[in-house]
């Protein structure tokens, strides 16, 4: 961010512009946590490596080096082993055999109230996700913190996120743990933490901010694919995850928003506070999901707990015996 600003002399707003769950039926959260810990490890080291490459070769060459590193993902993709053939075709497989597969998009999920709330909460919670990664170093510089010292803020985010990913992954596999509540608490904690940024005016305060942010945000990030599978089921998971990632792109607008706020007001405070309020609102939306789940389960029970009267061919709940039985008892 700083190198780009120095090169182009541009405003900050313009410059800012998993299928793991399907492979594990047990310890799914912990497996996802291990994968997410890999991303946290990257955050831990990339800031220092990036700074070294910029000093030695410039930011353009540094980005080329990172492009080369990312090609490793191509070879890592060959390590995936195909899943066993399902007994029933999945939603994706049904689309592949449809003559209109090139024009059909499964929109039935958007009739599911639980999915709608889940996606809405994700959009609000992830709006400010990239803001610290883009603007934190410059924020520290505005407070008189040297670039070398400010880099340790990102190190704090990486270390805490790595440890938290493993911790939350392990905890969320326990039998009596409610993953949805942990996710809700994580989103709420991140929102409240963003609201404290106006009070973080010293180097220790920013270190604490970054460390707590990495810890709390991992609780949400690790559980995204796991909870999507829990809420939507394995058959709808591919389509649901595609929609989830589409909504996740709202996070790309966070850094330009924070940059625009800085250009207009000369401060990052509002640029952090507004995403914080969005996360708090997302936590409130998540509170409605358990109630909707209970309602859906009760409706399912009402359908299953019934019998068919052979005389009238009508469906009668088990709680009320068929009329024909009452007549027989009277006889």
Domain that holds residue 220: 107-303
pLDDT in tens, 164-209: 888 888 888 887 888 899 999 999 999 999 999 999 999 999 999 9
Domain-located, residue 1: no
Q: Place 260 in a pLDDT band, splitting at 50, 70 and 90.
A: very high
- Residue 285, pLDDT score: 94
Best CA proximity match to 161, nearest among 29, 255, 39:
39
Q: CA-to-CA distance for 224 and 218, rounded, in angstroms? A: 10
Domain-located, residue 27: no
Domain-located, residue 17: no
Domain-located, residue 56: no
Domain-located, residue 124: yes
Q: Supply the Cα-derived Rg of the chain in whole angstroms.
A: 25
Structural domain count of the chain: 1
- Residue 172, pLDDT score: 83
Domain-located, residue 199: yes
CATH number of 176's domain: 1.20.1250.20
pLDDT in tens, 97-143: 554 454 455 677 888 888 999 999 999 999 999 999 889 988 999 99
Count of CB atoms within 10 A of residue 17's CB?
A: 11
SS3 breakdown of the chain: % helix, strand, coil, rounded to 5?
75, 0, 25
Best CA proximity match to 111, nearest among 301, 297, 296:
296
Mean pLDDT over all residues of the chain? 79
Full-model pTM: 0.71
Q: CA-to-CA distance for 49 and 323, rounded, in angstroms? A: 78
Q: Place 324 in a pLDDT band, splitting at 50, 70 and 90.
A: very low
**Residue spans of alpha helices (H) in 27-130:** 28-57, 59-70, 72-76, 91-96, 113-125
Above 80 in pLDDT, residue 286?
yes
Q: Which residues pair with 316 in a beta bridge?
A: 307
Domain-located, residue 157: yes
Of the ranges 123-127, 262-266, 287-291, 325-329, which one carries the lowest mean pLDDT score?
325-329
pLDDT in tens, 215-248: 998 888 888 888 888 888 877 887 888 888 888 8
Average pLDDT of the segment spanning 306-310 = 53
Q: Is the Cβ–Cβ distance between 160 and 214 less than 8 Å?
A: yes
- Residue 224, pLDDT score: 86
Domain-located, residue 55: no
Residues in the chain: 331
Q: CA-to-CA distance for 112 and 296, rounded, in angstroms? A: 10
Using CA atoms, how far residue 156 sits from 2, 41, 128, in Å, is 20, 11, 18
- Residue 151, pLDDT score: 83
CA 261 to chain centre: 25
């Amino acid at each position: 961010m700083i190198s780009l600003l120095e090169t182009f002399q541009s405003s900050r707003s313009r410059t800012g512009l998993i299928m793991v769950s399907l492979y594990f039926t047990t310890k799914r959260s912990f497996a996802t946590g291990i994968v997410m810990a890999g991303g946290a490890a990257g955050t831990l080291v990339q800031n220092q490596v990036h700074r070294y490459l910029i000093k030695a070769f410039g930011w353009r060459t540094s980005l080329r080096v990172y492009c080369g590193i990312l090609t490793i993902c191509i070879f890592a993709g060959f390590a995936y082993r195909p899943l066993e053939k399902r007994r029933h075709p999945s939603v994706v497989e049904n689309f592949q055999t449809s003559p209109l597969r090139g024009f059909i998009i499964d929109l039935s999920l958007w009739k599911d109230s639980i999915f709608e709330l889940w996606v809405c909460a994700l959009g609000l919670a992830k709006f400010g996700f990239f803001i610290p990664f883009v603007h934190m170093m410059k924020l520290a510089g505005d407070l008189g913190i040297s670039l070398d010292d400010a880099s340790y803020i990102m190190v704090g985010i990486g270390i805490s996120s790595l440890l938290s990913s493993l911790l939350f992954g392990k905890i969320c596999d326990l039998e009596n743990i409610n993953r949805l509540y942990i996710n809700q608490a994580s989103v709420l904690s991140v929102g409240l933490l963003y609201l404290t940024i106006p009070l973080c005016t010293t180097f220790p305060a920013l270190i604490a901010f970054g460390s707590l942010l990495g810890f709390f945000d991992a609780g949400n990030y690790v559980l995204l694919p796991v909870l999507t599978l829990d809420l939507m089921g394995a058959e709808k998971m591919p389509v649901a995850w595609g929609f989830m990632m589409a909504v996740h792109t709202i996070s790309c607008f966070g850094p330009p928003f924070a940059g625009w706020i800085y250009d207009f007001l000369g401060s990052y405070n509002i640029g952090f506070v507004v995403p914080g309020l969005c996360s708090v609102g997302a936590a409130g939306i998540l509170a409605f999901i358990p109630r909707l789940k209970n309602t859906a389960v009760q409706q399912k029970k009402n359908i299953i707990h019934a019998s068919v009267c052979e005389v009238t061919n009508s469906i009668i709940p088990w709680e009320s015996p068929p009329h024909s039985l009452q007549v027989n008892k009277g006889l």
